[in-house]
Amino acid sequence: MTDPITARRNGEVLIIVSNNPPVNALGQAVRSGLKREIEAGLADDAVKAIVVRCDGRTFFAGADITEFGKAPQGPSLLETLDAMEASDKPVVAAIHGTALGGGCEVALACHYRVAVPSAKIGLPEVKLGLIPGAAGTQRLPRLVGAEAALPLVVGGDPISASKAESIGLIDAIVGEDSLEADAVAFARAKIGQPVPRASEGTKNQDGVRDPDIFDRFRASQARKIRGFDAPNAAIEAVKAAGELSYAEGVKRERDLFLKLMGGTQSAAMRHYFFAERAANKIDDVPADTPILPIRKVGVIGAGTMGGGIAMNFLTAGIPVTILEMQQDALDRGTGTIRKNYDATAKRGRMTADGVEQAMGRLTPTLDYADLADCDLVIEAVYEAMDVKKEVFAKLDEVAKQGAILATNTSYLDVDEIARATSRPGYVLGLHFFSPANVMKLLEIVRGKETRADVLATAMKLAKTIGKVAVVAGVCHGFIGNRMLSPRQQQANALILEGANYWDVDDVLLEFGFPMGPFQMADLAGIDIGWHRDPSRVETIREALCAKGRFGQKNGKGFYDYDEARNRTPSEETKAIVAEFAAREGKPQRAVSKEEIRERLLYPMMNEGAMILEEGMAQRASDIDVVWINGYGWPLYTGGPMFWADTIGLKTVVEGLERHGLPVSNYLRRKAEAGETFNR
């Protein structure tokens, strides 16, 4: 294997270069090469300054995550960086691409940092359930202050070069195309001057002067960090940077880092990191499959879903023609799109110009013929097979040759819809989640005849519009809704048997979901699809509607709501449920939270096993990606399939049997063989 680290001289400046594609991760070979060249540079009297930079698309994007969980191999990044920072010769980090995690820590240990305008810098370790482990939490607050360090270390989102310059993390922004030359000139100008060391910085004293900044920050992030271990450890580490010496602070960081590294949350989040990337790959569609150009998109239906779908493309700079049947519906739809954009602008996430540009890309129409020049048309009309087939037959007449025709169905048979056209190879499902302009997940439903280039194009397009895409096969509800269904059945069965509906919600909240099924029903509106006949009561929802309990919209659904939409369990609802159960002849009993949890979650794993066995998902980790991005499954458990692996498939099978619930052959076989879903 060739050495990823090389060095060459430019006069008195030593340029150390890493070339370790794809992202210059700081694996063992990189660390040892870096140590070797830095030591050589420091020992060579002819070298008066050092520049560290990377070839390829990015500066070091962090530690090599594939090494985590294995026995550590020296040299450690920490010791290499401490030796480098201790030098009196100026060391300059020349940053392009993304200086992340350990990469940001390399930059922090350099005496100076210069970056191209497009560079990004950050400490995303929390997203892997970790905190920085090479003194990042100790150098950064000393360099920029605890207040500026907190969002970087605890939030994990990278910042732009200009933002980094404004907080003092970067010393200079240099030419986009002249990074090395500018960095060398910068280094040369610093020769002979005393070097600034981040570990000796004093900005961290802001947190000592005003210790409340930590609690204020924690409170401001409360919703985002609920349930996660790493953000609290990150806050503790940044706080320690103000209270302890550098050496003691590094030790505190190390202890926190190692504890997180050995815990289940980080294992789960590392699993997710690779799961999201694996989901991009379609086993039998080679990476070099041609991509069809998507220059214009058509959306049929300007309701909530169609409008949300359209916004994805408008925001990404792709023109959209949106079709409705009636002028008033069309006006309402385009009005809602504008309202949503205006709200985004109000929150500062978009400029007024940006809103106008996005709206300028939208063409409303009532005429199918206007879809003729679209490269992709997505149907988002009423969820009924007859309606969908009619739409696709019409679309087949007007859409140009080679256009991709997609349905946003949540449940229906995509193959049957494809058969309504003369070109089933160009038909697939693009299942967006509501609100479609916000939710990350996109299920790409592969029909029997969907062509490889159509699939590859959909995958690529998903990335363009910022979605996390997962390929699903044609089955009722695909991956996500198919697994939701047994959970919902159990939720309903449980409350008929006497479980408190608020306990059902609370079990899921405690597990880490943002919301339980009955809160969800209240939010969406219990009266959706209600026949409006109070004398006809066949379900609990109908029983609630009959008593005027429609959900949050009128302040009473399963729960009672106050002005601020705080929920309290309702005696009336409890009585309605009990009465309904009595009518159905269901004996009542107390149900433990343990039973609720097992009955809600284990059947999902069983359904997931069947999805895998039938080949409806390519891999178990794809199912995890669906549930984390589309249904609020807590990231720190790694998704349903990874969580099942964590607790053991045998436990799942035993739980299902204990509650008299079905166990699929696939799940049973795997459990008996002591296997896991994710290898």
- Cβ proximity to ligand 3H9, 106 vs 577, nearer residue: 106
Region binding ligand 3H9 by CB under 6 A among candidate stretches 120-128, 209-217, 291-299, 443-451 = 120-128
> Least CB distance from residue 151 to ligand 3H9, whole Å?
16
Tokens at 557, concatenated: 């659904």
Residues 6+ apart with CB under 8 A from 200: 142, 246
| CA separation for the pair 540, 527 (Å, rounded) | 11
d(CA 63, CA 50): 22
Q: Which of 591, 659, 626, 632 is nearest to 509 (CA)?
A: 632
Pick one of 33, 41, 90, 101: the residue that binds ligand 3H9 (CB under 6 A): 101
Is residue 614 annotated as a catalytic residue, yes or no?
Answer: no
d(CA 673, CA 188): 64
User: Min. distance of Cβ 26 from ligand 3H9 in angstroms?
Assistant: 7
Please, which of residues 55-84 interact with ligand 3H9 by CB under 6 A?
Answer: 58, 61-66, 77
SS3 label, residue 635? helix
Size of the residue set binding ligand 3H9 (CB under 6 A): 24
Nearer to ligand 3H9, 277 or 339 (CB): 277
Nearest distance, CB of residue 77 and ligand 3H9, angstroms? 5
Looking at 54, 84, 100, 140, which residue binds ligand 3H9 (CB under 6 A)? 100
List the one residue from 124, 231, 249, 447 that touches ligand 3H9 (CB under 6 A): 124
Instruction: Write the DSSP string, 474-495.
Output: SSTTTTHHHHHHHHHHHHHHHH
Cβ distance to ligand 3H9 smaller for residue 141 or 447: 141
Query: Per CB under 6 A, which of residues 17..46 are in contact with ligand 3H9?
Result: 22-23, 25
Contacts of 462 (CB under 8 A, 6+ apart): 442, 444, 468, 469
**Catalytic one among 37, 85, 125, 443?**
125
134 binds ligand 3H9 (CB under 6 A): yes
Q: Residue by residue, what is the 3-state secondary structure of 326-340?
A: CHHHHHHHHHHHHHH
Minimum CB separation of residue 515 from ligand 3H9 in Å reads 29
Nearer CB in complex with ligand 3H9: 80/570 = 80
Shortest distance (Å) from residue 625 CB to ligand 3H9: 13
* Identity of the residue, 234 or 483, whose beta carbon is nearer to ligand 3H9 in the bound complex: 234
Q: Specify whether 79 is catalytic.
A: no
Question: Footprint of ligand 3H9 on residues 242-301 (CB under 6 A)?
Answer: 277
One of 33, 90, 129, 133 touching ligand 3H9 (CB under 6 A): 133
Q: Read off the tokens for 387.
A: 């309606």
Of the candidates 400, 391, 387, the residue with the CA atom closest to the CA atom of residue 426: 400
Looking at residues 447 to 476 of the shown chain, list those that interact with ligand 3H9 (rule: CB under 6 A): none
- Could you give the angle at the alpha carbon of 79 between the alpha carbons of 77 and 84, nearest 5°? 95
Q: At a CB cut-off of 8 Å and minimum separation 6, what does 73 contact?
A: 28, 67
Identify the CA nearest to 457 among candidates 474, 444, 475: 444
Among residues 22 and 290, whose Cβ is nearest to ligand 3H9?
22
- Residues ≥6 apart with Cβ < 8 Å to 49: 12, 13, 14, 89, 90, 91, 92, 187, 188, 190, 191
CB closer to ligand 3H9 out of 199 and 500: 199
Which residue is it, tokens 């159960």? 581
User: Could you tell me which residues are beta bridge partners of residue 52?
Assistant: 16, 93
Which residue lies nearer to ligand 3H9 by CB, 463 or 531? Answer: 463
CB of 134 to ligand 3H9, least distance (A): 4
Sign of CA dihedral 326, 332, 336, 342: positive
CB of 47 to ligand 3H9, least distance (A): 26
Question: In the bound complex, what is the minimum distance in angstroms from residue 78's beta carbon to ligand 3H9?
Answer: 6
Q: Number of H helices and number of E strands within the chain?
A: 29, 19
Residues labelled catalytic: 105, 125
Q: Which residues in this chain contact ligand 3H9 in the complex, by CB under 6 A?
A: 22-23, 25, 58, 61-66, 77, 98, 100-102, 105, 124-125, 128, 132-134, 136, 277
